[in-house]
Structure 1
């Protein structure tokens, strides 16, 4: 039987198995925690700020290189569209009352070839991407294509090819699973503004060949386009290209009006003189000034 003093002496003894076990476990826990902290301190960081910045810079540099390469291909496609669309326009200028069907049929076939061979290449480069970033690269070619397409449509039907119909013709070129490339309103209006210059040249040529009625039709059509655009352009935000083209467009409309008016004045003078010779229509001076 233990006495209280003897029990306290036994518990306080350093050789007690309970105290020894407790001290041993505490010592081991300190060692383990110390080892864990050291291993954490010595473990290298998997992502550092420096490596992250290097990776981000490398990714951005790769993106810029790819974008520049794409821009070069887009510029080449736009240049091909411009050249071949101009050929279509030159083809249409050969039109007369005797060869209208033949010339338009050839011009429309050439325009379809421009779409299938060159517009399709542009669509493949730009569909499914942020193609607005490359608009400056492909806009000149698109404007020229709009000009050629609307020129053919007017000479065929006497009406305007609208943007919805124009874009509908491009849909078959795109992958249905990807957002299609569509001509935007600005490029359409810029191409339409250039159309009046070609209409002016066509009207002067038709007057020289005695086709005054066709020239007057061109005059009314050009005047209507200019009047409608004067309502739209003030709403556009500081587009210097459009404003510059509007000035050129007005000059073209005035030249057509002056040419038609000159024919009527000269015709009236010949009528007063009693002449019935229609040759006065030949060689009407080009109102370029």
Structure 2
């Protein structure tokens, strides 16, 4: 009975411990307060890093837009930009590279995926600027490997960011093409065609308007890009699917604007009044497959 009374007042399921044992346990193990302080420090570090990445991403976006604005002053294709524009943009590209290098400690190993959503807007805008510069120089699309090689190896360039950057590139190509087609130097030339043999008389030949090769090239490139983008197959649960439909719609609209400008040149030809520009306000339905 005495032993039974000695357990009275003790919580159920707990065995009584001596004061010496309890004090020894408290002094060696972490307290609840210290555990939560550790969690607090980790969360503070996470939020601080996240804000730094977002700020740097915005700085990269701003510099990339300046590169694009400068390139829109270019009027030639498949040639290096004028020296002044090339030097201005080289300075901006160097600044962008420095910003990406400053993010390397923040985006190592698993952190590259953890903060992908925060750095992604800057990467996409940079890809758009770099791809536009590359296209004006070579009239070819920059590859994913070339973009990756340009950046520090620790910076993750996902295929989704690469494709989204190319989607945005079509908008800049549209602006460049419309300005080129709207310029006073843009006009259609005639090309003689004949359904008869080479010995047929001139009366059997007809003349059709065609764009100059430099003007027709970007129209063909945009239509090819549209066909490739429309053939993309993205799984329903893919992260890219959320933005794909909107990007696809904007891309299609950009290509249709360039087609209307080209059609205006071909139809109006030399009859255009001085200062004429293509009417891009009227919507045009184009069947997609």
Pairing of 1:74-223 with structure 2 (within 5 A):
74-97=53-76, 100-102=81-83, 105-106=86-87, 108-171=89-152, 180-209=154-183, 210-211=185-186, 213-223=213-223
**Deviations 1:128-160 (Å, cap 9, x if unpaired)?**
442222222211111110000000000000001
Corresponding residue SS for 2:232: helix
Q: How far does residue 195 in structure 1 lie from its aligned partner after superposition?
A: 0.6
Q: How many residues align?
A: 235
Pairing of 1:248-259 with structure 2 (within 5 A):
248-259=250-261
**Which residues of structure 1 form unaligned runs of 5+?**
1-37, 175-179
Aligned residue in 2 for 1:6: none
Q: How far does residue 242 in structure 1 lie from its aligned partner after superposition?
A: 1.9
Corresponding residue SS for 1:207: helix
Contact 2:112 2:156 in 1 (8 A): no
| 1:285 equivalenced with 2:287 (yes/no) | no
Distance (Å, rounded) in 1 between the aligned partners of 2:33 and 2:214: 67
Aligned residue in 2 for 1:35: none
Q: How far does residue 188 in structure 1 lie from its aligned partner after superposition?
A: 1.1
Q: How far does residue 127 in structure 1 lie from its aligned partner after superposition?
A: 2.7
Distance (Å, rounded) in 2 between the aligned partners of 1:91 and 1:70: 32
**Deviations 1:110-131 (Å, cap 9, x if unpaired)?**
4522333322223342134422
Return the TM-score normalized by structure 2.
0.71
Higher share in helix: 1
| 1:61 equivalenced with 2:23 (yes/no) | no
Out of 110-119 and 249-258, give the one that drifted further: 110-119
Q: How far does residue 281 in structure 1 lie from its aligned partner after superposition?
A: 8.1
**Deviations 1:194-223 (Å, cap 9, x if unpaired)?**
111111110011112234543322222222
Out of 129-138 and 83-92, give the one that drifted further: 129-138
Aligned residue in 1 for 2:234: 234
**Deviations 1:57-86 (Å, cap 9, x if unpaired)?**
332222111010011111110111011100
Out of 122-131 and 240-249, give the one that drifted further: 122-131
Return the TM-score normalized by structure 1.
0.71
Larger Rg: 1
Contact 1:147 1:192 in 2 (8 A): yes
Aligned residue in 2 for 1:15: none
Q: How far does residue 189 in structure 1 lie from its aligned partner after superposition?
A: 1.1
Contact 2:80 2:136 in 1 (8 A): no
Contact 1:93 1:202 in 2 (8 A): yes
Aligned residue in 2 for 1:46: 25
Distance (Å, rounded) in 1 between the aligned partners of 2:233 and 2:118: 23
